[in-house]
Amino acid sequence: IIIAAVNGELTVKRLVEQNGTTLLVPDNQSYEPIALTPEIDCTVWGVVVHIIRTVA
């Protein structure tokens, strides 16, 4: 699970390699995965290693 800036917006997603394509996959099924292509401006800020509290 990573924190990334995608086209200027922060997001928390799973980084997945699938059939030669790198995807940012949300745990929330209401959102679509983001395929990382050369047109997408994406910077990984870091890896989530600890959660202080859950938000539900």
- Quote the domain boundaries for residue 17: 2-47
Q: Identify whether 31 is part of a domain.
A: yes
Whether 55 has a pLDDT exceeding 80, the answer reads: no
Task: Please give the average per-residue pLDDT across 48-52, as a whole number.
Answer: 90
* Strands across the sheet containing 42-47: 34-35, 21-25, 9-18, 2-6, 42-47
Q: Identify whether 55 is part of a domain.
A: no
Q: Identify whether 54 is part of a domain.
A: no
Number of domains in the chain: 1
Whether 56 has a pLDDT exceeding 70, the answer reads: no
Global pTM value: 0.82
- Listed in sequence order, the residues at least 6 apart from 31 whose beta carbon sits closer than 8 Å to its beta carbon are none
CATH code of the domain containing 41: 2.10.109.10
Q: Identify whether 53 is part of a domain.
A: no
Whether 33 has a pLDDT exceeding 80, the answer reads: yes
15-29 tens-digit pLDDT: 999 999 999 999 999
| 32 vs 53, residue with greater confidence | 32
